[in-house]
Amino acid sequence: MTIKVEKLSRTFGEIQAVKGIDLQVERGETFGFLGPNGAGKSTTIKMLCTLLHPSSGQAFINGYDIERDASRVRQSIGIVFQDPTLDEYLTAEQNLYYHCMVYHTPRKTRDTRIRDVLQLVGLDERRKDIVKTFSGGMKRRLEGARGLLHEPQTLFLDEPTVGLDPQTRRSVWEHVLRLRERTGLTIFMTTHYMEEAEYCDRIAIIDHGQIVALDTPAALKRMVGQDMVCLTTSVPERATAVL
C-alpha cells in the first residue's frame, strides 16, 4: 500500500476544511481525488505532501508517517503544483538542473536523468528552449518531468490541467498515463473535471471536507445513472433554441 489515510482533519480557525477522511491507495494505482472548488482537495494533498500539518488523524506515504518522517516522505514523492512554479526565463534543461541540485542528485547522473525525463514527457527536442516560449500543455509536462527527476515512488498532481483547453488537457493526460505505464508510478491527482475521472483506476469524491463516494469510475457511473453529453457551441443562444 502506497498511501494510507486515517481520520485526517484540518481546521482553519472555526472552518473545518477536511473532516476526518479515510482512504487507501495501492501501489501502481492512478487515484483520482475529485470535488468542487473549496471541497478540501488542495488542503488534503498539501497535508499528504507534508506542506501542511494536520489538525488530527494520521497518514502514511510509502510507509512513512507524514508528521514523524516528513523528510523521508518528501524524498519519496514528486509533486506537480496547481500553480506554475517554473522559471520562465530559464531553459527547460536549466530548470531541471536546478531541481537536481535541490535534491542533491549526484553530478555524474544529472545529465542522464534530465535527458531521460525530458524524453519521457516528449520535450527532449526543446531542452535548450526558454520556457517562456512553451505552450501551457508543454509547461505542465515539464513540471511533470521535474517531479520525476529524483525517481519518486509516488507522484502527486494537484489539478494538473487547470486552465488548459480540452485538447491540451487530453494531451497532458496521454503523457501522464504513459508515465505510469513506463515507470509503475503511483499517481494521486486532484481535479474538478469529471471527465478526467475516466483515466483513474479509482476515484474518491470529496465535498465540504468529507469523502462522499469512493469506487471505480464504472461503479460510480452506475450509481448516478447514464452518461452526460456536453456540447460546446460558438453561438449558445442559437443552439439552445434548436434544442
- Encode pLDDT of 129-165 as tens digits: 999 999 988 998 899 889 888 889 999 988 887 777 7
Q: What is the reported pLDDT for 230?
A: 67
Domain with 114 in it: 3-242
| pTM metric for this prediction | 0.82
Least confident range from 7-21, 57-71, 103-117, 161-175: namely 161-175
Q: What is the reported pLDDT for 45?
A: 94
81-to-46, 49, 143, 144, 146 alpha-carbon distances in Å: 10, 11, 8, 9, 11
The count of structural domains within the chain is: 1
Please state, for a pLDDT cut of 70, what percent of the chain lies above it: 94
- Split at pLDDT 50, 70, 90, the class of 223 is confident
CATH number assigned to the domain comprising residue 236 = 3.40.50.300
Beta bridge pairs of residue 202: 31
Q: What is the reported pLDDT for 226?
A: 59
* pLDDT(178) > 90: no
**Beta carbons of 2 and 30 less than 8 angstroms apart:** no
Arithmetic mean of pLDDT, 22-28: 96
All cell numbers assigned to 124: 527532449
- Kindly report the number of other CB atoms within 10 A of residue 167's CB atom: 8
Quote the Cα angle for 84-158-176, to 5°.
90
Residue that wins the pLDDT comparison between 40 and 137: 40
Q: What is the reported pLDDT for 128?
A: 97
* pLDDT(189) > 80: yes
- Split at pLDDT 50, 70, 90, the class of 236 is low
Q: Is the dihedral of CA 99, 86, 145, 160 positive or negative?
A: positive
- Kindly report the number of other CB atoms within 10 A of residue 128's CB atom: 9
Arithmetic mean of pLDDT, 203-207: 95
Phi, psi of 151 (to 5 degrees): 55, 60
Residue that wins the pLDDT comparison between 242 and 116: 116
- d(Cα 218, Cα 51) in Å, to the nearest integer? 33
176-to-68, 82, 142, 169, 188 alpha-carbon distances in Å: 30, 15, 12, 11, 11
Coil vs helix vs strand at 161 = coil
> Which of 79, 92, 98, 87 has the alpha carbon at shortest distance from 160?
79
- Encode pLDDT of 78-124 as tens digits: 998 878 789 999 999 999 999 999 888 888 899 999 999 998 888 99
> Which of 147, 149, 168 has the alpha carbon at shortest distance from 158?
147
* pLDDT(63) > 90: yes
For the chain, what is the mean pLDDT? 89
Least confident range from 14-23, 189-198, 233-242: namely 233-242
Tell me which H or E stretch contains 15.
strand 15-25
**Beta carbons of 84 and 143 less than 8 angstroms apart:** yes
Tell me which H or E stretch contains 30.
strand 30-34
* pLDDT(216) > 90: yes
- Split at pLDDT 50, 70, 90, the class of 229 is low
